Structure 1
């Protein structure tokens, strides 16, 4: 299995969770076999969260403008500065920010 297939199914599982529909309802609406969606949901839970690349910079150091536009954006939460890569899941970002504010 390719990483692309795993990433695609992570998106499908997140979409089903956000939809508020049951797995069967969502699968029928999307033309997906419910058993396949159940399997992927279980498999992805077993594998754990998807990791994303993170760059650590020295205090005061910033990435070049070209790199920053291509790679993502900076987010300041309280006194913490986070570099968020392009394509980072919005739901995961909300959870991360919520956890940092606790």
Structure 2
């Protein structure tokens, strides 16, 4: 069973991730109800809201692509939409993701790369 400190860290990672509670819980193998319960419990016991980085906006640049159709989730990749998504992170790293990527693997990769300073 996870300790209060472990849950505090999980809740903070969720807040930092920008993911919905359902998405984060799924990636971490948690029950979404547990995530909500601990968020409430930690907020109540500390007497204040959890500390988290305020949201900020990043520039977005739309680039024309030779794609015939925009990428759609759940559609098998075709040559016309095989390009997928490209993320340019604030630290200069670029992450290219094909349409049929595995969300769990991508989340783990970004978490590990972010924790090591590699990205």
- TMscore range, shorter length: 0.3 to 0.5
Question: TM-score with structure 2 length normalisation?
Answer: 0.38
Question: TM-score with structure 1 length normalisation?
Answer: 0.44
Structure with greater helix percent: 1
